[in-house]
């Protein structure tokens, strides 16, 4: 069965510092990997995806993620965090014939 | 290009009742997926419709059912509501040629409270 693990329930970072939100996945076949962000009482907004190609993927709002096949990881990163980045972040994975499976989410808090 | 819209945004039901949630897909999309997000959890896949037929289902009982219409709008129906059905229900649309081919575009969700 497919699964996504986000080992940290909460990540705290000071404004201006780099941030990393961790994600590991387990899928059969080649993975399709995604990051979504959710603000309070809102739906999920797409940030970035990895389907194929370059392992470093750049997305919205200055976020990027690195696909590491050997470690089955897809960590989300940003060089300099903003207070407005504070939100709930979800990693998700699928393969060619399976639905998108989400992790339980990581709450990012950026402190001014 | 219109986004995914869901209605109602909030509703309260009592145990045993039935509920219908509605979703209008993003223009040009032919696939709709429904997810349940319980408080503090990630979204859980309920089912997916492609060209008006269900072509995937998660671990949800038959009292969760759905429809997709020719204009690709969709409904989620839940019968015999239970307290644990209280959650945010998310609709997501995408363009697909059969199964998963790209990112999902989510609506704002319908928050269901069962008392």
**What does the DSSP 8-state code read for residue A105?**
-
The residues near A24 (Cβ < 8 Å, ≥ 6 apart) are A4, A5, A7, A71, A72, A73, A74
Q: Which residues of B touch A31 (CB under 8 A)?
A: none
- pLDDT at position B1 is 47
| pLDDT bracket for residue B72 (50, 70, 90) | confident
Q: How far apart are the first and last CA of chain B?
A: 38
Q: Mean pLDDT, chain B, as a whole number?
A: 91
What tokens were used for B112? 């269901």
Residue A94 touches partner B, C-beta closer than 8 Å: yes
**What does the DSSP 8-state code read for residue B23?**
E
Residue B66 touches partner A, C-beta closer than 8 Å: no
Residue A2 touches partner B, C-beta closer than 8 Å: no
Closest CA to B94 of B105, B108, B109, B82: B105
Q: What percent of chain B has pLDDT over 70?
A: 93
Q: Using CA atoms, how far apart are residues A17 and B2, in angstroms rounded to an integer? A: 36
pLDDT block averages, 10 residues each, chain A of length 112: 94 97 93 93 89 91 95 97 96 86 96 95
Q: Using CA atoms, how far apart are residues B13 and B39, in angstroms rounded to an integer? A: 17
Residue among A51, A97, A100 minimizing CB distance to B45: A100
């Amino acid at each position: 069965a497919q699964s996504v693990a986000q080992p940290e329930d909460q990540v705290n970072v000071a404004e201006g510092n780099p941030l990393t939100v961790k994600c590991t996945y387990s899928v059969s076949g080649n993975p399709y990997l995604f990051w979504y962000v959710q603000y309070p009482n809102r739906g999920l907004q797409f940030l970035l995806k990895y389907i194929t190609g370059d392992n470093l993927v750049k997305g919205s709002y200055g976020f990027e993620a690195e696909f590491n096949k050997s470690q089955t990881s897809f960590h989300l990163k940003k060089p300099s965090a903003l207070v407005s980045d504070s939100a709930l972040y979800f990693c998700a994975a699928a393969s060619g014939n399976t639905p998108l499976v989400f992790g339980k989410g990581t709450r990012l808090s950026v402190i001014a | 290009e219109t986004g995914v819209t869901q209605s109602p945004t909030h509703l309260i039901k009592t145990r045993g009742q039935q509920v219908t949630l509605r979703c209008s897909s993003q223009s040009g999309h032919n696939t709709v997926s429904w997810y349940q997000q319980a408080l503090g959890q990630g979204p859980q896949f309920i089912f997916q419709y492609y060209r008006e037929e269900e072509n995937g289902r998660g671990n949800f009982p038959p009292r969760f059912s759905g429809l997709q219409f020719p204009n690709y709008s969709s409904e989620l129906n839940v019968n015999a509501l239970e307290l644990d059905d209280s959650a945010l229900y998310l609709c997501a649309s995408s363009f697909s040629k059969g199964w998963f081919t790209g990112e999902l575009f989510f609506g704002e969700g319908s928050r269901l409270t069962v008392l």
